[in-house]
Amino acid sequence: MTLTPRKCELLIRPAEERDTAAIRQVAREAWEKTFAGFLGDFDRGEIRGHMYSERALLEDIGRHTSEFLVATVEKTVVGFAELVLEGSVGEVARVAVRPAWQHNRIASTLLRRCLGILAERGIRQVTAGIEVEDGAARSFFRAHGFRPTRGAMPNLEQPEGELVEFARAVPDLAEAPVEKIEVWCDDGRRFCPRCRRRYPCEAERCEECGVPLQTDLPVRPDQDEHRFVPLLRTDDLCRVSLVSSALEGSEIAFSVHEPGGRVNGAFEIWVAPSRLIEASEVIDTLEEVPVLLEDE
């Protein structure tokens, strides 16, 4: 049985005390994916246990100098963000989304809501401290207008880590986003790497292609075209294969458009806007770098 994706409503709202268990689950899943490469199991557990204990979360949610937001789909918490409001500068203290829901504009929507809150309060500058080794987070904030303002500094929450401060100006109030958007709701998290059909989690092989199924489904542009942007165009199929392999190795969702149809005479690779800078850095490391699309 294959599954059909459907649109669901994503709601951003203030966190409540009843959300603490769900926030802890999101944090656990996100931390396991983000920090597994440079924090050991013990360190991840210790730090996460300190930052996301029931008591710590209740204090953060109730603190008058911060805004703790959750993103929900069908009343299920799939992401969260904390915005610290002290003085004339705001700080995005954390943003996290469950891995199964990433690349679905949820982190971007949380961040934009944070910027909207700052604009409403007349705060004109916002910062974010990013782990030096967290390339995905750096790319995310760069894609949303943040730039590094100082070198590495100690991470008080993680003694072994270092942070790089990013900052940007807060946009005008008129740019503040709505608190609801539509996202694709995945009823199945396994997919065929060839035909992209979705299957229930218990399925192991594609009924049509006979190949093993994979998880963490990349979103296809034909599902929601505006969520992807062009990364490169080339008529060299070898380059397409090389770049595709590099993006897969970096866990960056992408889609390849073949010549014909709306693509005229060349292959195009598209990625999510939030991963554009990171994807560009990935292909820059290749021996033969394809020509990036020119701005039209």
Neighbours of 6 (CB within 10 A): 10
Pick the range with the lowest mean pLDDT from 10-14, 162-166, 215-219, 231-235: 215-219
pLDDT tens, position by position, 278-293: 787 777 766 433 334 4
Q: How many CB atoms are located within 10 Å of the residue 24 CB?
A: 19
- As a whole number of angstroms, the distance between CA 134 and CA 83 comes to 20
> According to DSSP H, which parts of the chain are helical?
20-34, 41-51, 54-62, 106-120, 135-143, 237-249, 276-284
Mean pLDDT of the chain, nearest integer: 76
Query: For the residues 121-143, what does the mean pLDDT come to?
Result: 87
- Min mean pLDDT across 18-22, 57-61, 66-70, 185-189 is at 185-189
Greater confidence (81 vs 197) lies with 81
Structural domains in the chain, sorted by start: 6-182 (3.40.630.30), 218-296 (3.30.70.790)
Q: Strand, helix or coil at 252?
A: coil
Model confidence at 105: pLDDT above 60: yes
* CA distance linking residue 215 with residue 83, whole number of Å: 32
pLDDT confidence of residue 114: 93
pLDDT for 48? 53
Q: What is the pLDDT of residue 2?
A: 56
Of residues 103 and 247, more confidence is placed in 247
Of 36-45, 62-71, 162-171, least confident by mean pLDDT is 36-45
What one-character-per-residue DSSP string does 201-216 give? Answer: TT--B-TTT-PBPEES
How many CA atoms, within 13 angstroms, populate the side-chain half-sphere of residue 261? Answer: 7
Averaged pLDDT, 265-285:
76
Low-confidence winner among 125-129, 134-138, 216-220 (lowest mean pLDDT): 216-220
Average pLDDT over residues 173-199: 65
User: Does residue 241 carry a pLDDT above 90?
Assistant: no
Token representation of residue 279: 């994807």
The gap from C-alpha 49 to its chain's centroid, in whole angstroms, comes to 23
pTM of the model: 0.63
Residue 47 — pLDDT band, cuts 50, 70, 90? low
User: In this structure, is the dihedral angle defined by the CA atoms of residues 75, 77, 78 and 81, taken in order, positive or negative?
Assistant: positive
Task: Say which DSSP state 274 is in.
Answer: G
Closest CA to 1 of 237, 207, 289, 160: 207
Residue 20 pLDDT: 94
CB 184 within 8 A of CB 6: yes
Residue 71's pLDDT is 95
Report residue 264's pLDDT band, with 50, 70 and 90 as the boundaries: low
Q: Output the pLDDT for position 85.
A: 92
Best CA proximity match to 7, nearest among 202, 181, 263 = 181
pLDDT at residue 87 above 80?
yes
Q: Which of the residue ranges 83-97, 176-190, 243-257 would you say has the lowest mean pLDDT?
A: 176-190
Instruction: Using the predicted structure, report yes or no on whether residue 175 has a pLDDT greater than 60.
Output: no
